Structure 1
Amino acid sequence: MIKVFFNSPDEAERFYTMLVLKQNRRNVELCIIDGNGVGVSASDFDAAARTLFIPALASYILKYNESRLMLSIIRDRFYFHEPEEQQQIIHIAEAIIEGERTEIPGAKQLPVRETPIYEALNDFIKPDLAFALSSFIKFRLHSYVERLYKYIELAIEEYKLEQEYQTFIHSLREYAMNRETKAEVIHIVHEQDLTVYNEHFSEISKEDLAGHIDRTFVHQHPMYIDASLLAPLVSIAPGRIHLYTDSPDYGMVQTIQNIFLERVSIYPRKMAGV
């Protein structure tokens, strides 16, 4: 019988339940040991370890220990101590892991994090072994933790960029809201590029747009502002923006919405008067 011990009876019960749900072999016996341990015995130990115990324990580590390991990396190796910051970074890291943030440079090149867990378990598990999961994680999963470190490192870079972006957007919003409006209505049509029109749907040339730019604000601003569209828009500070697009999630469309908020109305491209 192989025995694995957890930090609490609740954790042992959780792993026991995972084994029960994964079990499909009649010659495998499961039991709770001393409240916080789980025992597995089988006539064919190698098969049971390969098809049941190791996959279940790997899944348990990923599901119930990974977030705590990420938190310790964020806190102890990157020195982020604010709970809100920690959770935002973990949220980004989990999104990268789940393949939801493939637009982040380098996300697709990160190594598969599960592999070291399976390798360590395959090397470690043997008949009649008794061990504590916390010790196994601490002493046997260095490669896995280092891979998690790479995910966290990338998540922190993205978190800092997002914070800078939010600061950037806030400053542009404050500026546009406090600036005297130079046009009550602006129309913007999004095709391959974004083209700006006045209230009569006459196109405003790039030269005319550039003439509206508040150069002092642009030069003093800490981040790059798109000179062809964003800088003129915040300088004009229109009372209403009617934006026509078939891609409302497009980056610049989102940025315009975030700056001008309720001043922006979004319509399908076909509703443009051009």
Structure 2
Amino acid sequence: MDFFTISTNVESAVSANQFADYLKRLTKSLHKGSVKSDFVYMPKHSRAEWSISLRPKKKGAQAEEHSKKIMDELARVIAEYVVDVREPGIVRKILTKDYELDESEKQAVEAICHRFLGMEEGQAEARKARVMLVWTAFREMIEGQSSLDLDGFVTFRLQDYGMKLREMVDYAVEEFLLDKQYEDFIGLLQYFVYFQEPLTPFIHVMHKRGSEFVILNEGLKQIEASSGDVVMRMADQELLMEDVIVSTLISLSPERILLHTRDPEALAITTIRRIFGDRVQLCLRCPQCKDFHQGTRQRDQVT
């Protein structure tokens, strides 16, 4: 292949320059004199076009191999451009077509997609896998061709890549709905607790690990956790261990809760603090904490 042209729709001069910047990576990596490239931005038509002419100094099989390497590199640059620049727009189209969400909900799902798709620092493998999907499709598409419309390629030729994005969008929407359900439930419990009269002056909540707790009264006598009927009636869902603790606390309706923990960032701790608000005081280290955790370690060693 001695000549190749690739064109795309662009929204503005900024997006045209983005496209050009990625293609400059290709020309910078090639040997001087081996190619000639031209870039044209047509604002009236909202189009950008880039062309490359190969000028191999070698002949025969060596020239063919040189041409292949250049097209492989072009495929890599275009694949990176699609994943880095065009992908958010593809995700937005999938969301708009498949789900009825308002703008704030779409933005929340897109943020989850961003995490799922591995665009954050330290998640290069997920991005690399998608780049390879686009690279493979692009390399197959341009074989024997002298030009390509990038928009048509993205729309009609990236089935595997599109399926991967659709799966991630589905997962992201599912997580968003679960998070929304959780937030709605927390809000309901906050409302319930706010209007509930205190029934117990003071209790200790000893956090063992994860969602494991022990509840003690003012005299440090253990209070058995309830069956969780309050939370179960309100949520109409299967109980988790932290639900049982929350339900017990709601049933006791303490005026003050001293929450002893060595893991203040644990989800169960955050949940209790959000629901009971100013009624909760956090304790990270006190004589009761020390005695409780020493006893827990000794019992664990025995068992």
The answer to whether the 8 Å contact 1:16/1:32 transfers is: yes
Residue of structure 2 in register with 1:94 after alignment: 114
The answer to whether the 8 Å contact 2:39/2:51 transfers is: yes
Partner SS state of residue 223, structure 1: coil
Amino acid at match of 1:95: R
Distance in structure 2 (CA, Å) of the matches to 1:178 and 1:18: 59
Deviations 1:199-243 (A, max 9, x none): 45x03231xx439x7x56743542345564110112223233222
Offset of residue 73 of structure 1: 1.1
Distance in structure 1 (CA, Å) of the matches to 2:234 and 2:15: 55
Partner SS state of residue 197, structure 2: coil
Tell me if 1:74 matches 2:89.
no
Residue of structure 1 in register with 2:70 after alignment: 48
Residue of structure 1 in register with 2:6 after alignment: 4
Partner SS state of residue 131, structure 1: strand
* Count of residue correspondences: 259
Residue of structure 2 in register with 1:106 after alignment: none
Amino acid at match of 1:60: Y
Partner SS state of residue 241, structure 1: strand
Partner SS state of residue 239, structure 1: strand
Structure with higher RCO (Cα < 8 A, 6+ apart): 1
Please point out which of 12, 19, 34 is paired with 2:23: 19
Residues 128 and 12 of structure 1: CA distance in aligned 2, closer, same or farther (over 3 Å)? farther
Residues 61 and 197 of structure 1: CA distance in aligned 2, closer, same or farther (over 3 Å)? same
Residue of structure 1 in register with 2:38 after alignment: 31
TM-score by length of 2: 0.75
Residues 218 and 81 of structure 1: CA distance in aligned 2, closer, same or farther (over 3 Å)? closer
Distance in structure 2 (CA, Å) of the matches to 1:84 and 1:59: 28
Please point out which of 246, 258, 261 is paired with 2:262: 246
Distance in structure 2 (CA, Å) of the matches to 1:253 and 1:98: 28
Residues 238 and 273 of structure 1: CA distance in aligned 2, closer, same or farther (over 3 Å)? farther
Offset of residue 267 of structure 1: 3.3
**Percent of pairs identical after alignment?**
21
Offset of residue 127 of structure 1: 6.7
Residue of structure 2 in register with 1:203 after alignment: 221
Question: Which stretch shows the higher mean deviation, 117-126 or 221-230?
Answer: 221-230
Distance in structure 2 (CA, Å) of the matches to 1:157 and 1:185: 39
The answer to whether the 8 Å contact 1:54/1:118 transfers is: yes
Q: CA RMSD in A?
A: 2.9
Distance in structure 2 (CA, Å) of the matches to 1:12 and 1:242: 59
The answer to whether the 8 Å contact 2:5/2:49 transfers is: yes
Structure 2 unmatched ranges of 5 or more: 43-47, 57-65, 121-125, 292-303
Residues 167 and 31 of structure 1: CA distance in aligned 2, closer, same or farther (over 3 Å)? same
Partner SS state of residue 6, structure 1: strand
Distance in structure 2 (CA, Å) of the matches to 1:33 and 1:179: 69
Tell me if 1:233 matches 2:249.
yes
Amino acid at match of 1:38: W
TM-score by length of 1: 0.82
Partner SS state of residue 229, structure 1: helix
Structure 1 unmatched ranges of 5 or more: 101-108
